[in-house]
A and B are shown apart, each in its own frame.
Chain A
Amino acid sequence: MKNFKIAEPKSIEQVSGLLSKGGEKVSLMAGGTDMLSEIKEGVAEPDLVVDLSAMKELPFIRKNRDGMHIGAMTTLADLASDPAIRSDYPGLYEAALSVGTPQLRNVGTVGGNLCQRPRCWYYRDAKFLCRKKGGSQCFATRGRNKYHAIFGGGICHIVYPSDLAPMLIALDAKVVVVAPGGEKVLPLSEFYTLPSKNVRRENILNPNEFLREIRIPPPKKGERSTYMKLKERGTWDFALVSAAVKATAGGNSFNDVKIVLGGVAPIPWRLEKVEQGVMKKKLSESMIKETAGAALQEARPMEENRYKVALVEALLVRSLLSIA
């Protein structure tokens, strides 16, 4: 582990100032549950760690007329125990509760969860100089790839492990990004980027920008949502595959449905083909399987992760039928 300096800014302006200094490698620390393990493993070697825990203005959950506003430093435990979240966005409640363990949720934050680094045991171990760390190969392609991506991989097969991200994208959430020139508001679905665009990072944030807030539109009439996560063990496990679904019911079918998967790709992975296939139709297990089957033709599994395709199919059936 390399030595680093630590700063504890009290305001947004101070954070922006620290990020814009230039010259040194700066890492933002929210809950730190992910970042500290990267530092300990020698994967991240920041010169300066900016600890956001003293930022009094960043933890908040506010219900406004235009929807829910959630501050980046809100803990996952607070998110999961908020009554308005639970009643308006049941899927988000489920997603928050599915993260890690109670200890991790007490410390981990919404912003940290959305900006955490990806999962891949080659990336997470300093001894493997992989493409994501500036090397020239993806070790997973011909190596041990049981937990790796079946969609969107190509040059790098990391998976994005956030439980909140797929659900928030399904809920049409927006993120507020603080940039030197002011704030930007953009859909969370445009926040994440594939390795083919820039293999070194997972989102659009520039080094001098940071995520401040999440906004979720108010639920429509008849809106339901669910988040289902398949893990190997009972708790403290990242998703093998997860499915976030939001739908608006009309009669005995969905007028509108959004499906985003976690654990299968370097970014939260939307299944628009399945959405189109199941919309405005009477849902049944066989119909969902058939639709999923066609969409899953696009999966590109490797030697050890083919089973994820079957998991996606099972999850689609279960999640869609659970809110039908």
Chain B
Amino acid sequence: MKEHEIVDDLNLAYLEEARGKKAQGKDVPAEAGEDFKLIGQPTARIDGRLIVTGRAKFTNDLTLMNMLHAKILRSPFASAEIVSMDLSQAQNLPGVKAVIKLKEGRVKYEGEQVAAVAAISEKTAEEALQLIKVDYKILPHVVRPEKAVEEGAPQIHDSANVEKFNEYSRGDVDKGFAEAEVVLERTYKTAVEIHQTAETHASIAKLDEDRLTVWDSTQAAFSVRDGLARTLGIPTSKVRVIKTYMGGGFGSKLGLNEHTVVAARLAKETGRPVKIVLNRRENSLCVGNRPSTSITIKGGAKKDGTLVCLSMKNYTCGGVGRGDRCSEPLIDIYKCPNVKVEEYTVYTNTGASRPTRAPGHVQGTFALEGFLDELADELGLDPLELRRKNYSSANQGETGIPYSSKGLNKCYELGAAKIGWERRNKKPGEGGGKIRRGLGVASQIWWGAGVPGTLADIKIHRDGSVEVICGTQDIGCGTRTYIATIAAETLGLKPEDIAVKIGDTVYPWAPSSGGSQTTPSVAPAVRDAALKAAERLKQLVSTTLNIPASRIVLAGKKLFDKENPDVSVTFQDAAKELRREAVFHGERSDLPAGFAYNSFGAHFAEVEVDTETGQIRVAKVVAVHDVGRVINRLTAESQVVGGITQGVSTALFEERLIDDNTGQMVNPNLQGYKISTSMDIPEIVPIFVDLIDPRINNLGTKGLGEPPRIPISAAVANAVYNAIGIHLREIPMTPDKVLKALQGKEANS
């Protein structure tokens, strides 16, 4: 193991150095944190009680005076021409206040919006939809990417159905293949996954004079605000977006949605507030999905496992949308001098893809990590050893800039020990019996450095009460709680002493909550504001107590002399010294150039495969992550559990199914579209390596939203491979596919 320990030590050395500096009283970018009492500990959600008792208000819980309800009529056809549309009957239905056309000409997927109604009740709006008469001329459609690439297939857009959208190359792959002693080529496929949020999309739009206020179930209040201003042609300064509580987004609420614009248009048309709530069917058809992929990897290695070349071709299908770029993990994570990537999108008559928790990385990791396991078997190597052999300390496969910190080796070490990696089948499928056990591993890389310029304010009132104000949104991950924790830690208070005000574009700017960037953006900004507040209070108290400010510590709701703790004033009294309500502005600082900022992780999965029924049971997952400093260990672990639950679900069950003949989805509901239940969730062991990044931000923390979702499906598929000796190369791994693969193996042997 020693020979591979490269960058992990960077952090350890840094910590030693930081501790030394701290002792000398010097300022350091990220504190070693040994003094922290709250940060890094498990802290229960400050809003947990509100949420579980149903008192937290979600968008759908809000009712405004005179509010109308909107519904959208959607195309039942995958491809059709709207010949004519008659709104008159709907308009004449009592209770209907407005009916608007949303589409003319061609509709390109089932669920595309055609018209909308605002009425005094949901029921009236629904009835009105039935009265809109649309005359469609049905056109030929294609919903399967394999068919869409064929000559003569119905064309989706003005361009061809297949379009190259990304290419990358370094070194010389041909030379690499010539040097390689073992060459392998494999194709991996992933199905279309739907964002199944517990709370479906909902928006309320209200127009006062020329000012628009929108309540939206969104991951991106500021981006919705900007999008509405642009789309409706009104100044950004006249749009306000408010986000209350939220039941999941996973990317489907990352930005402005069409139905939100519809609500705003209807509010303008009627002069009344308009609410729109999408149903599960709409959620399945028209607010995005994770695009399918078919990724072929050809790679070459020396007999000792040294990777010499990797080439990848991705055909991704995002319906009428673009699909995902999936090559980042392959380009970046392992040391490899020669790499070539080509990525193509395939258009079909289905709803557009959208970012879905770690877009591209999930599919790209499934392919890359599956390939590595098959290559390891070909080379007769331990799959984990193959990964360590090609460990890199700089990005772009060791050809780019160094990682600011990388704890992946530590992840491997801790994970392998915890799962008992030595228990794996040394040769895939070598275990006997009807029920086969197997272990699998997969690595993960993601971004999640956060966005410089994120703002947060701390307001201290004269009575000593404290508010943190930031425009960010809590999309269910516990943002409110860590904001309170960081402010409390810095000011010597308790999390419940802090009033957290978020989810409103009138508050200081924060980025969208996607890409694992909320914590590494918001946490440092709050910390910055809190440090400034603490500094100011120390200055004031220093005069009162007649001791240097540097000797003053904030803890236990007091400011005291660390050399003589009895010399103290209460936080409340110190706040009085501010003389008026005081606001401290915090900002997330720039990222030092010259380094790559990434999070890392490794998942180890243990599975049981019933070779007679094709059923797979994931028994245990050990998930080890390097996310820099953990801010709240409880919600961080929840994040890992959530990511694994989703990943196990897509590995085993989830797939959007479309009828080729009609072009219509057959499972736009939670009956036919299966997600994992509590009975399917394995024993999950989350572990954090707790390596604090030396320069990423003032807390040394990286984002965790996506990382636990990335390697899990690959780790499960690799464990199945280890169990039965066949890599299915396709998710979901449903019993029909497992049995087919096993029968194929039997036929071949």
Instruction: Give the residue of A121, A232, A240 whose beta carbon is less than 8 angstroms from that of B666.
Output: A121
B653 in contact with A232 (CB, 8 Å): yes
Q: A232-B734, A233-B653, A233-B680 are known contacts. Are A307 and B666 too (CB-CB below 8 A)?
A: no
Q: Indicate if the CB atoms of A310 and B679 lie closer than 8 Å.
A: no
Interchain CB contact under 8 A, B672 and A121? yes
Complex alpha-carbon distance, A217 and B668, angstroms: 43
Residues in A neighbouring B615, C-beta threshold 8 A: 230, 232
List the A residue with the shortest CB-CB distance to B681: A234
- Kindly list chain A residues whose C-beta atoms are within 8 Å of the C-beta of B674: 232-233, 237
A231-244 near B? 1/0 per residue, CB < 8 Å: 01111110010000
A307 and B664 contact, Cβ closer than 8 Å, known pairs A121-B672, A233-B653: no
Of B4-12, B152-160, B510-518, B654-662, the stretch lying at the interface with chain A is B654-662
Q: Answer yes or no: B465 CB below 8 A from chain A CBs.
A: no
CB distance from A4 to the nearest CB of B (A): 13
**Which of A121, A237, A304, A307 lies in contact with B614, CB distance below 8 A?**
A307
Q: Does A128 lie at the interface of the complex (its beta carbon under 8 Å from any beta carbon of B)?
A: yes
Please indicate the chain A residues that have their CB under 8 angstroms from the CB of B613 in the complex: 230, 310-311, 314-315
Is A144 a contact partner of B680 (Cβ separation < 8 A)?
A: no
For window 582-625 of B, CB contacts with A under 8 Å fall at 612-615
Asked whether B735 lies within 8 Å of A232 as measured between CB atoms, the reply is: yes
Residues of B within 8 A of A317 (CB): 612
Within 8 A of B (CB), among A307-324: 307, 310-311, 313-315, 317
A3 nearest CB neighbor, chain B only: B123
CB of A235 within 8 A of CB of B659, answer no
Provide the residues of chain B in CB contact with A125, threshold 8 Å: 666, 668
* In the complex, residue of chain A having the shortest beta-carbon distance to the beta carbon of B126: A1
User: Pick the contact of B677 from A121, A230, A236 — CB < 8 Å?
Assistant: A236
In the bound assembly, the distance between CA atoms of A314 and B676 in angstroms comes to 24
Within 8 A of B (CB), among A108-129: 121-122, 124-125, 127-128
Q: Within the complex, which residue of A142, A146, A234 is in contact with B736, where a contact is CB–CB below 8 Å? A: A146
Q: Which of B76, B612, B614, B662 contacts A139 (CB 8 A)?
A: B662
A307 x B659 contact (CB < 8 A): no
Interface assignment of A143: CB less than 8 Å from any CB of chain B: yes
In B638-670, the 8 Å CB interface with A consists of 652-653, 657-662, 664, 666-668
Partner of A128, one of B664, B671, B678, B736: B664
Complex contact B677–A235 (CB within 8 A): yes
Do B739 and A307 touch across chains, with their CB atoms under 8 A apart?
yes
Q: Which residue of A lies closest to B670 (CB)?
A: A236
Chain A residues with CB under 8 A of B664: 127-128
Contacts of A310 in B (CB 8 A): 612-614, 739, 743
Contacts of A232 in B (CB 8 A): 615, 652-653, 674, 734-735
B659's partner among A144, A311, A313 (CB-CB below 8 A) is A144
Determine how close the nearest CB of chain B comes to the CB of A160; give it in whole angstroms.
16
Which one of B614, B661, B677, B735 has the greatest number of beta carbons of chain A within 10 Å? Answer: B735
Instruction: Mark out the residues of chain B between 215 and 269 whose CB falls within 8 Å of any chain A CB in the assembled complex.
Output: none
Chain B, 300-339, contact with A by CB distance < 8 Å: what is the 0/1 string? 0000000000000000000000000000000000000000
CA distance A101 to B677 in the complex (A): 10
Q: Closest Cβ of chain B: how far from A277's Cβ, in Å?
A: 19
In the bound complex, what is the Cα–Cα distance between A101 and B671 (angstroms)? 13
A115 to B192, CA, bound (A): 35
What chain B residues lie within 8 Å of A306 (beta carbons)? Answer: 736
Q: In the complex the two chains form, what is the Cα distance from A233 to B615 in whole Å?
A: 9
B735 and A230 within 8 A (CB): yes
User: Are B677 and A233 in contact, with the CB atoms below 8 A?
Assistant: yes
Task: Return B737 CB to nearest CB of chain A, in Å.
Answer: 8
Partner of A307, one of B668, B671, B735: B735
A235: chain B residues within 8 A (beta carbon):
677-679
B735 to chain A, nearest CB (A): 6
Say yes or no: A307 contacts B657, CB within 8 Å.
no
Q: Bound state CA distance, A37 and B672, in angstroms?
A: 13
Q: Are B680's CB and A143's CB within 8 A? A: no
With contacts A240-B735, A310-B612 known, is A143 near B677, CB below 8 A? Answer: no
Closest to B616 in A: A232
Contact A142–B677 (Cβ < 8 Å): no
Our pick among A143, A237, A305, A313 for the contact of B660 (Cβ within 8 Å) is A143
Contact B652 A143, beta carbon cutoff 8 Å: no
Q: Map CB proximity to B onto A1-40 as digits: 1 under 8 Å, 0 otherwise.
A: 1000000000000000000000000000000000001000
Cβ of B740 < 8 Å from any Cβ of A?
A: yes
Min C-beta distance of B602 to chain A, whole Å: 26
Closest to A307 in B: B736
Q: Which residues of B contact A143 (CB under 8 A)?
A: 659-662, 666
Given A232-B735, A233-B653, A304-B736: A128 and B662 interface contact (C-beta under 8 Å) = yes
Taking a contact as CB atoms under 8 Å apart, the answer to whether B739 and A144 are in contact is no
Please state if A307 and B680 are interface contacts (CB–CB under 8 Å). no
Q: How far is the CB of A33 from chain B (nearest CB, A)?
A: 12
Cα-based distance from A262 to B579 in the complex (angstroms): 77
Write the nearest CB–CB distance from B95 to chain A, whole angstroms: 14
Considering the chains assembled together, what is the distance between the CA atoms of A143 and B667 in angstroms?
13
A128 CA to B668 CA, complexed, in Å: 13
A residues within 8 A CB of B652? 232-233
Question: Bound complex: CA of A142 vs CA of B666, how far in Å?
Answer: 13
A233 near B661: Cβ-Cβ < 8 Å? no
State the Cβ distance, A117 to closest chain B Cβ, in Å: 13
B661 engages A142 (CB within 8 Å): yes
A317 to B614 alpha-carbon distance, docked (Å): 15
Complex Cα gap A128–B676 (Å) = 27
Once bound together, how far apart are the Cα atoms of A301 and B657, in whole Å?
A: 19
**Closest CB in chain B relative to A36 CB, distance in Å:** 13
* Cβ contact within 8 Å between B677 and A122: no
0 or 1 for each of B716-749: is its CB under 8 Å from A? (1 = yes) = 0000000000000000001110011001000000
Q: A307-B739, A310-B739 are in contact. Are A139 and B680 (CB under 8 A)?
A: no
Residues of B within 8 A of A313 (CB): 612
Given A139-B661, A311-B735, A233-B612 contact (CB < 8 Å): no
**Please, how many angstroms separate the alpha-carbon atoms of A235 and B743 in the complex?**
27
- Residues in B whose Cβ lies below 8 Å from that of A122: 659, 666
Measured CB to CB, the nearest residue on chain A to B660 is A143
Contact with B along A241-270 (1 / 0, CB 8 A): 000000000000000000000000000000
Q: How far is the CA of A314 from the CA of B671 in the complex (A)?
A: 26
Residues of A within 8 A of B739 (CB): 307, 310-311
A145-158 Cβ-contact flags toward B at 8 Å (1 or 0): 01000000000000
Give the contacts of A133-178 with B (CB-CB under 8 A): 139, 142-144, 146
Chain B residues with CB under 8 Å of A237's CB are 674, 677
Q: Which of A274-323 contact B (CB under 8 A)?
A: 304-307, 310-311, 313-315, 317
Closest residue of chain B to A137, judged by CB?
Answer: B661
A311 to chain B, nearest CB (A): 6
Q: In B72-111, which residues have CB < 8 Å from any A CB?
A: 76
Please, which residue of chain A has its CB at the minimum distance from the CB of B610? A314
CB distance from B523 to the nearest CB of A (A): 37
- Which of B76, B666, B671, B735 has most A Cβ within 10 Å? B666
Inter-subunit contact B76/A127 (CB<8 Å) = yes
Chain B residues within an 8 Å CB radius of A1 = 126
Chain A residues numbered 31-74 whose CB sits less than 8 Å from any CB in chain B: 37
> B677–A234 contact, CB under 8 A?
yes
Q: Could you tell me the distance between the alpha carbons of A139 and B653 in the complex, rounded to whole angstroms? A: 23
Rounded to whole angstroms, the CA-CA distance of A161 and B527 in the bound complex is: 57
A-B contact pairs, 22 of them (CB 8 A): A101-B677, A125-B666, A125-B668, A127-B76, A139-B661, A139-B662, A142-B661, A143-B660, A143-B666, A144-B659, A144-B666, A146-B736, A230-B615, A230-B735, A232-B674, A234-B677, A235-B677, A237-B674, A240-B735, A305-B736, A311-B735, A314-B613
The 9 closest A-B pairs by CB, nearest first: A234-B679, A314-B612, A307-B736, A235-B679, A121-B666, A234-B680, A143-B659, A307-B739, A235-B677
Given contact pairs A144-B659, A304-B736, enumerate 11 new A-B contacts (beta carbons under 8 Å). A101-B677, A125-B666, A127-B76, A127-B664, A143-B659, A144-B657, A230-B613, A232-B735, A234-B678, A307-B736, A311-B735
